[in-house]
């Protein structure tokens, strides 16, 4: 096992009978920082050399197993040991190793689990290899071990999508060996290990498994390569993932690992990786606004949308998809019928594609109400105006909202460039007025500019950011200026 590795405060070991329990405790999500890697390697060294240890249990403290790499290490020189070395030490141990997955086992966390000899999942576990979302590929054996466990098609799809599997799906895919009810990973893991030891279960290395139907798998990968080149135009890592899986089929395991590492380093040096990681950090920074931290959001249980054109309908759909009841206001019966048709058109398309049932569509539309009477929105919690881009028209709408809406209702405008301070001044409650600038189509586009006028209350800004979270949007705080950010 090499030279002694220093003990780590974030990885602890404890003997329970003849089982060495190795606990990763690096809050909040047990990210695989250098100290965790060092601790895991030291634990494997301890297990190898201690005759009292018959088996090893890997378990995460808190709410996750290991949720992936430590993002604070991105862009910095690597610190030994690198993760492939840790995974190799786990897999090469000559005593059974069980990983218990009770929360997120993502990226490098899942690669650690794939290196264990057995995997036990609890119902809340989620397993995935989402590196493609950062312009990367699994670089610690994920592209070599996952196809051996799941088959080429399932593993490649998992890596190209970046989407995690829930525990039951992971069991069916062969990614885990057993799923048990419960919430205590330590108790569940010890019980499972005792079963394995009683049955004299062998050390079972994922690297030694044969990939099923290799010729058919290679043919499928060739088709997938052409399809991926079309779907992922401009992205570097998806095709490199396919190359890695081809290596898993065509090369011995150790040579496949060398190929994976070389392609991982190519991805690491690509401009797409730099851009996607910049976006990753940026999306986490934009929600850290002073108002959202200083004030509690107001409750929003119902929404009104003023205007049923393309933008108003898209905003209504976004709110309906989030489970909120929506009242749409238009100027006459003909316009409200057109607004409803614009909303229904989105769901009709989903039904036609088989992505939504007619019953589900009916349930969503039951939360939609159309009206020509502003009095019908007197009790809603938040109003979004999406009428013609003319400041006098918008001021007239806001004077009407000021008249009918209950005290404390948030009054938002979807203007893309007009002066929101002037719109707010048309009301007697400028503290309640904010900009929510959606981008068309509003139910699909992720960006939501939250435009903060001079007199708005902090809890209204906090409410806007909370609404963005509910609508699954990426909120960006903007000041009042011509065109805000996106349109400048």
Domains for the chain: give ranges and CATH numbers.
11-268 (3.90.226.10), 297-479 (3.40.50.720)
Q: What is residue 212's predicted lDDT score, i.e. its pLDDT?
A: 87
- The pair phi, psi for residue 17, each rounded to 5°, is 65, -120
C-alpha–C-alpha distance, residues 267 and 263, integer Å: 6
pLDDT band at 267 (very low <50, low <70, confident <90, very high): confident
Distance spanning both ends of the chain, measured CA to CA? 58
C-alpha–C-alpha distance, residues 331 and 343, integer Å: 17
pLDDT tens digits, 436-450: 999 989 999 988 999
Most confident listed range (6-10, 84-88, 471-475): 84-88
Q: Are 204 and 118 in contact (CB under 8 A)?
A: yes
Per-residue pLDDT at 341 exceeds 50: yes
Q: What is residue 297's predicted lDDT score, i.e. its pLDDT?
A: 94
C-alpha–C-alpha distance, residues 188 and 181, integer Å: 9
Copy the structure tokens of residue 27.
């809050």
pLDDT tens digits, 382-422: 999 999 999 999 999 999 999 999 999 999 999 987 899 99
pLDDT band at 73 (very low <50, low <70, confident <90, very high): confident
pLDDT tens digits, 191-242: 999 999 999 999 999 999 999 899 999 999 999 988 888 887 667 899 999 9
> Would the CA dihedral through 212, 215, 218, 222 be positive or negative?
negative
Cβ neighbours of 417 (radius 10 Å): 15
Point out the residues that are catalytic.
111, 131
Q: What is residue 286's predicted lDDT score, i.e. its pLDDT?
A: 57
pLDDT tens digits, 5-16: 444 689 999 999
pLDDT band at 249 (very low <50, low <70, confident <90, very high): very high
Strand pairing partners for 412? 384, 434
Q: Are 426 and 395 in contact (CB under 8 A)?
A: yes
Q: What is residue 1's predicted lDDT score, i.e. its pLDDT?
A: 36
pLDDT band at 43 (very low <50, low <70, confident <90, very high): very high
pLDDT tens digits, 173-189: 999 999 999 999 999 99
pLDDT tens digits, 13-34: 999 999 999 999 999 999 999 9
Q: What is residue 281's predicted lDDT score, i.e. its pLDDT?
A: 58
pLDDT band at 488 (very low <50, low <70, confident <90, very high): low
Per-residue pLDDT at 129 exceeds 70: yes
Q: Where are the alpha helices (DSSP H) in 427-476?
A: 458-470
> Would the CA dihedral through 392, 396, 401, 403 be positive or negative?
positive
C-alpha–C-alpha distance, residues 386 and 326, integer Å: 14
pLDDT band at 70 (very low <50, low <70, confident <90, very high): confident
C-alpha–C-alpha distance, residues 314 and 349, integer Å: 14
User: What is the overall mean pLDDT for the chain?
Assistant: 91
């Amino acid at each position: 096992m090499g030279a002694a590795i220093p003990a780590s405060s974030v990885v602890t070991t404890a003997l329970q009978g003849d089982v060495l329990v190795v606990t990763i405790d690096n809050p909040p999500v047990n990210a695989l920082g250098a100290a965790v890697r060092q601790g895991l390697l030291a634990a494997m060294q301890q297990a190898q050399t201690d005759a009292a240890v018959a088996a090893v249990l890997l378990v995460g403290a808190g709410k996750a197993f290991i949720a992936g790499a430590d993002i604070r290490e991105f862009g910095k020189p690597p610190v030994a040991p690198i993760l492939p070395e840790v995974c190799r030490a786990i897999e090469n141990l000559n005593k059974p190793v069980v990983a218990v997955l009770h929360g997120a086992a993502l990226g490098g966390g899942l690669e650690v689990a794939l290196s264990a000899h057995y995997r036990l999942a609890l119902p809340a576990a989620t397993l995935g290899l989402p590196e493609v979302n950062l312009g990367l590929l699994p670089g610690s054996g994920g592209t070599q071990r996952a196809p051996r466990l799941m088959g080429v098609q399932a593993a490649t799809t998992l890596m190209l999508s970046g989407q995690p599997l829930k525990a039951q799906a992971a069991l069916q895919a062969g990614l885990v060996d057993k799923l048990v009810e419960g919430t205590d990973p330590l108790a569940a893991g010890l019980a499972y290990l005792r079963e394995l030891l009683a049955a004299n279960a062998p050390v079972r290395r994922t690297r030694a498994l044969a990939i099923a139907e290799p010729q058919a798998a290679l043919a499928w990968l060739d088709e997938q390569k052409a399809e991926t080149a079309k779907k992922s135009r401009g992205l570097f890592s998806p095709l490199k993932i396919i190359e890695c899986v081809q290596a898993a089929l065509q090369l011995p395991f150790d040579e496949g690992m060398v190929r994976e590492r070389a392609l991982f380093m190519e991805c690491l040096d690509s401009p797409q990786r730099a851009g996607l990681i910049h976006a990753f950090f940026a999306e986490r920074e934009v929600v850290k606004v002073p108002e959202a931290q200083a004030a509690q959001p107001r409750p929003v249980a119902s929404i009104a949308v003023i205007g049923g054109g393309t933008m108003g309908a898209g905003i209504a759909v976004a709110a309906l998809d989030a489970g909120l009841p929506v009242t749409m206001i238009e100027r006459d019966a003909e316009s409200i019928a057109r607004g409803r048709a614009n909303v229904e058109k989105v769901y009709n398309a989903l039904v036609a594609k088989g992505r939504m049932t007619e019953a589900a569509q009916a349930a969503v539309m039951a939360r939609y109400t159309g009206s020509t009477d502003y009095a019908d929105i007197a009790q809603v919690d938040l109003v979004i105006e999406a009428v013609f881009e003319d400041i006098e028209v918008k001021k007239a709408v806001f004077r009407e909202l000021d008249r009918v809406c209950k005290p404390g209702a948030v009054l938002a405008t979807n203007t893309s460039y007009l002066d929101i301070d002037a719109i707010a001044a048309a009301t007697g409650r400028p503290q309640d007025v904010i900009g929510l600038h959606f981008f068309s189509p509003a139910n699909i586009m992720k960006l939501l500019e939250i435009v903060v006028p001079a007199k708005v209350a902090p809890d209204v800004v906090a409410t806007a950011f909370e609404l963005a979270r509910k609508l699954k949007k990426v909120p960006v705080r903007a000041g009042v200026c011509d065109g805000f950010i996106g349109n400048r």
